[in-house]
Structure 1
Amino acid sequence: MPGLGVCLALAASAAAPPVFVPVERFTLAWTHSIEKVRWEEDYAVVASPTAGQPPVLQARTARVRGSGAGMEPPDDAVLRNGWYEYTPRMGSPQGLRLTRSPYTADYAWCVDGQCVPLGQWLPSDGGVTLLTPCARPPAPER
C-alpha cells in the first residue's frame, strides 16, 4: 500500500486539488468558541481490510477539559488529570467536515505531541474543510 495519510480540501473549492498530508496517527484539537474548553480527538489512518479500497479513518480516543452548555462529555467518560476521556462513538467516519471561522482560533493539528495550526497545511477560506483518509497520490509523469 502506498503511503497513508489524509487529504484536506476546501468544500467550496471543488476544482482545487486536495492537499495530501502523510500521517498515520494524528490529533485534532480546538477550543470551544463560547465555553473556552479544549477538546482533542485522536485518529488513525489504516489500510482498508478490502483490497483495492481506500484507507479507513478510525476515531480512537477523545478528551475534553471540562464541560459546558450543550457540550457535556458522554456518560462513559472517565475523569483523568482534569480531562474527561472517552472512546468516540463514530468509530470509522468516512471523513470529517471541519468548520473553520475567521472569528475563532484554527484547529490544532498534532503529531507526536507537536501541534501547529491546521492552516499550515491548508489555509482556511472561512468555510468547511473536508478531511478524508487517502493514499499518497502517484507522482505526475514527466
Structure 2
Amino acid sequence: MSGLCIAAAASLLAFLPLQAFTLAWTHSIEKVRWEEDWRIEAGHLHLVEARIRGSGAGMEPPEGAILKNGVWHYAPQLVPLERLRLANSSFTAAYEFCVAHRCRPLAELAGGAENELLELHACEGSDRAR
C-alpha cells in the first residue's frame, strides 16, 4: 500500500495511506492563509494547486492567478519532489494537514514533534523507513 511518510531526523513518525492531501498555514506576518494541494504519483509529491486567501507585502499572487470569492487560485510550476521539508517551529502558527476538508495540526500527526525539521515523502507500506 502506498501513502505518505512523515519523518524527522531520519526517523519515521507516521505513515498515512493516502494519495492526496492539502497542506495549509498562516503567514507569520501578514496573517494570510495559504493552502497547497499535493498528490502522490510515481513515488513523488506533485503540487497540483495553491490558494492564497488575500495578499500583502511580498505575498503577491503569481502571474496567471485567478481571484474567486476573495481567494487567489493558481497552478504552481514546480517539478515533482522526492521530499518536502518543513520547518516545524513553535514561534509560528503550525502547519495544518488536511484530507477531505478535515484539517489537524501536522505536528499532531508527527507525534507532537516540535522545533524539528519535518520531511514528507511518498512511500510504500513495505519501505516506510527509507
TM-score, normalised to structure 1, is 0.82
Query: Residue 114 of structure 2 aligns with which residue?
Result: 125
Which of 32, 37, 49 does residue 32 from structure 2 map onto?
A: 37
Query: Residue 56 of structure 2 aligns with which residue?
Result: 68
Question: Do residues 110 (structure 1) and 108 (structure 2) align?
Answer: no
- In structure 2, how many angstroms separate the alpha carbons of the residues matched to 1:127 and 1:20? 18
- Unaligned segments of structure 2, at least 5 residues: none
Identity of aligned residues (%): 44
Letter in 2 for 1:103: F
Letter in 1 for 2:80: S
- In structure 1, how many angstroms separate the alpha carbons of the residues matched to 2:127 and 2:81? 25
Question: Do residues 100 (structure 1) and 88 (structure 2) align?
Answer: yes
- Give yes or no for contact 1:60–1:91 (8 Å, CA) kept in 2: no
Query: Which consecutive aligned stretches of 4+ in structure 1 deviate over 6 angstroms post-superposition?
Result: none
- Give yes or no for contact 2:36–2:51 (8 Å, CA) kept in 1: yes
Letter in 2 for 1:38: R
- In structure 1, how many angstroms separate the alpha carbons of the residues matched to 2:96 and 2:121? 17
More strand by share: 2
Quote how far apart the aligned CAs of 1:18 are: 4.4
Query: Residue 8 of structure 1 aligns with which residue?
Result: 6
- In structure 1, how many angstroms separate the alpha carbons of the residues matched to 2:84 and 2:108? 18
- In structure 2, how many angstroms separate the alpha carbons of the residues matched to 1:98 and 1:88? 18
- In structure 2, how many angstroms separate the alpha carbons of the residues matched to 1:72 and 1:89? 16
Letter in 1 for 2:7: A
Quote how far apart the aligned CAs of 1:66 are: 1.1
Per-residue CA shift, 1:22-76, capped at 9, x if unaligned? 1111000000011000000001112x2xxxxxx1211110000111122211111
Letter in 2 for 1:88: P
Aligned length: 127
Per-residue CA shift, 1:89-117, capped at 9, x if unaligned? 11412221111110222111100011111
